[in-house]
Structure 1
Amino acid sequence: MHANVLKPVLIIGGSGVVGAQGAHALRRLHPDLPIAIAGRDLARAEAVAAQVGNAQGVRVDLQRADLGLGEDTRFSAVVLFVKDDTLNSLKYAQRHGLPYISTSSGSFEIAPEVARHLRHPAAAPILLASHWLAGAATLPVLHFAQDFRRLDTIRIAALLDEQDMGGPAAAADYERLTSAAAAQILEHGRWRWVRDAAAASRFLSVDGTQVEAAAYSPMDVVTLAAATDAHSIRLDLALGETASRRRGEAFSTEIVIELEGERRDGAWVRSRHELVHPQGQAPITALGIALGIERLLGLAGGAAVAPGLYTPDGLIDPAYHLQRLAEFGVRIERKPDLVLAEPIAA
C-alpha cells in the first residue's frame, strides 16, 4: 500500500512535546503520508501541522463518541499520545475498522482495552505499545537474546533525566504509573507485585555512576515473559541526572540491558548493552510509534495488519527496529561479556 493513497493518520496528542516529534518521525519515514494533528487547541495543532507538512490540524474531544470529528471524517489509523480514560478513541477506531495504537497504559491498566478487543475481535488491529519509550528496550532485548541458547535473566534499567519529563501528558503518565500501583516483576518464575523497599534497586549508569532506581511496570516485562523463557525479568526506572549532564552537556536518555544465560557457545555469561540518545526520550518514543504506524498500514515489513491484538514485538522485526534506532541517533554499545563461574540457577 502506498502512502499517497491513504487517508490521514490521526495523531491524538500530536501537538504535544512527544506527539509532535512522533509526527515528524513519521514524516521522515514516509514523506507523502497524510497526517492529521489532533488536540484540544486547534491553533496549536495547526501550527505543528504546518511544520510537519502535508498535514492538517484538527480539534478533538475525547469526551464525545465521535471525538468531535463527526462520523463522516475518514482516517487511516488512530494513534494516542495521551491517556484516554474514556476509550472513545478506541471505540471510534473499532467502529471505522482503523488500526489503533495505545501508548500510555501500564501493565495493570490494559484490561479495558483487552476487553474491547475480546468483545469485537474482528473490528480493528490494536497495537498495545505502552512499553518503555514505545519498545526501545523490549525489541533490542529480543535482538540481543539471539546470542543465547538459554536466557535466564533479563534486567532493563532506564535513566530518565529529571529535565526530560516532556509535556504535561508525559508527566501525568509518570505520576500515575509510579504511584497508582505496585510494580510487576517476574522473579524466579513467579509473578510478583512489589513496592517501596522490595521495588528498590541500583544500577550503573553508562559512565559508571551508581544510580538509585525502582521497579516500574510498563508493558515490557509481561511482553518479554511471553516472548522468552527467562525466569526473572524486571525493568527499573531512575529519574535523575544522566551521564551527559554530569559532563556539563545537555540531558540524554539511557537504557541499560543486561542478559544472563547460556551463550550459544556453551558459556554462561552476563551481557550488557547500553543505548543512549543525546536528545532525550522524546525522539526514541516518537520513532517507536512511527514504526508501529508504518507496520500497521503495510508501509514496511509486510502487508497491512489484520484485525487483532498486538504488541510491538509481534509486528516489528527487532533487527529493523535497532537499525532505525541507530539511524535516528541512538548510540548502541555492547560491553564485553562477563563469563560466570557457575551456571545460573533455574
Structure 2
Amino acid sequence: MSTRAMSPVLLIGGSGQVGARAARALRRLHPDLPIAIAGRDARRAAAVAAEVGGPTTATTADVGRDDLGLERGASFSAVVALVKDEASNAVKRALADGVPHIAFSDFVSEIGPLVAHHVARPTRAPILMLGHVLGGTATMAALHLAQDLRSVDAIAIGCVISADDRGGPASEADFERSAQIGQAALVLQDGKWTWPRGDAAIRRFTDAEGVERVGQAYPLLDVVSLAAATDARSIRVDLAARDAAARGAGHVTELVVEVSGRGHDGSGARLRYDIVDADSYSRLSAYGVAIATERLLGLAGGPPVGPGLYNPESVLDPARVIARLEELGARVSRGGARG
C-alpha cells in the first residue's frame, strides 16, 4: 500500500514544538504520507498543517476527553501522543482501532497504566514506550556503540540544552509534573537500581566542545531499556543546562553518549558519540518520533510492527537511526579510546 493511500498519522500535540518538528521530519522522509495535526487550538493546528504541506490536515483534539474530541468515524493509521495522556484516552483509541501507538511523555515511574492496557489487550496493536531522552536517539546511539564491544560495563548519557530552552507547553508540563511529585531519577549503579538524590544525582561530563558540564540525573526510560538490552552494571542519564548566551543566538542541543567495556580482543574500550543539533531539544526529540513512526508503519526498516509492548530498541536498528539522524541534519561525531 502506498503512503498516500494510508489513513493519516494522528499527531496529538502536533502543533507543539516537538509535534510540529515531528510533522516536518515525517514530511521530509515521506512526502506522500497523510498526517493529521491535532491540538486544542484549531487555528494553530491549521497553521502548522499549512506549513508542513502535502497531504496534511488539521483537527482539534483533547486527551482529556474519552473520544479525544475527534470527529466521529475518523480513522488513523497511527496515534502518536506528544502530550501526557493522563486518562489513557490516546492508548485506548489506538487499541480500539488496532493501530500503532507511541507514548512520548511518560517518565520511568509512570508507565504502569500503559503496561496495564497492553496486558488487557496484548494482541490489539503495537504500543511503543518512547519516554526516553530526545525520542530514543540516545538509547539507539548507545546500542550502536555497544555493538562494537564484547561486553559493556557502563553507559553514561549526557544531554546539554540552553538554559532558556524549556520547550513548549507540553514540555513545561512534564518538567513541572516531575518537580511536583518529587521523583528521583532511576539509576543503575554497580548492578543495583537506585533513586539518587542530592550529590548522588550530580555528574560532571565533557560536552562536544570539551567544556565540563554539571548534569542532573533524570527519570527517563533509557536506563531500563539499556539495562535490558546490555549487560552494563552502571547506567544513567543526566541533563545539563548551558548559559543561554554561551553560544550566541539560537539554541543548540548536544547529546553525549559514552559506552565503556571490553573490546572483542579483550582490551578495555571507551567509545563515544557526540550528536549536535542547532535547534531546541524539541527537534532531536521530534526526529526520534518520526523515525519510530515510520518504523511502526513499515515505511522503513522492515514490515509493519505487530501487536506488542515495545521499547525503541525492540523495533529500531541502531545503525539506521544514526543514518536517519544525519540525513535529517544532526551532526554526528564518533570517538573513543582503547586499552
TM-score (norm 2): 0.95
Give, in whole Å, the separation in 2 of the partners of 1:154 and 1:52.
37
Partner of 1:153: 154
CA contact (8 A) 1:8 1:34 kept: yes
Partner of 1:60: 61
Deviation (angstroms), 1:92: 1.0
**One-letter code aligned to 1:111:** G
CA contact (8 A) 1:260 1:268 kept: yes
TM-superposition CA deviations, 1:192-218 (whole Å, max 9, x none): 111222211211122222211111111
Partner of 1:107: 108
1:202 paired to 2:214? no
Partner of 1:305: 305
Partner of 1:343: none
Partner of 1:232: 234
CA contact (8 A) 2:202 2:216 kept: yes
Name which of structure 1's ranges 330-339 and 37-46 shifts more when overlaid on structure 2: 330-339
Partner of 1:48: 48
Give, in whole Å, the separation in 2 of the partners of 1:241 and 1:269.
32
Partner of 2:175: 174
Given candidates 171, 184, 187, the residue that maps to 1:185 is 187
Name which of structure 1's ranges 72-81 and 265-274 shifts more when overlaid on structure 2: 265-274
Aligned residues: 337
- Provide the identity percentage: 48
Deviation (angstroms), 1:249: 4.7
Question: Aligned to 1:46, what secondary structure does the other structure show?
Answer: helix
Deviation (angstroms), 1:300: 0.9
Name which of structure 1's ranges 109-118 and 190-199 shifts more when overlaid on structure 2: 190-199
Name which of structure 1's ranges 310-319 and 207-216 shifts more when overlaid on structure 2: 207-216
Deviation (angstroms), 1:273: 2.2
Give, in whole Å, the separation in 1 of the partners of 2:221 and 2:108.
5
**One-letter code aligned to 1:279:** D
Question: Aligned to 1:104, what secondary structure does the other structure show?
Answer: coil
TM-superposition CA deviations, 1:23-78 (whole Å, max 9, x none): 11111111111111100111111111111121111111222211121441111110
Q: Which runs of 5+ in 2 are unaligned?
A: none
**One-letter code aligned to 2:326:** A
Deviation (angstroms), 1:282: 2.0
Question: Aligned to 1:43, what secondary structure does the other structure show?
Answer: helix
Question: Aligned to 1:38, what secondary structure does the other structure show?
Answer: strand
Question: Aligned to 1:154, what secondary structure does the other structure show?
Answer: strand
Q: Aligned-pair RMSD on alpha carbons?
A: 1.5
TM-score (norm 1): 0.94
Question: Aligned to 1:246, what secondary structure does the other structure show?
Answer: coil
Partner of 1:83: 84
Give, in whole Å, the separation in 2 of the partners of 1:61 and 1:272.
41
Question: Aligned to 2:137, what secondary structure does the other structure show?
Answer: coil
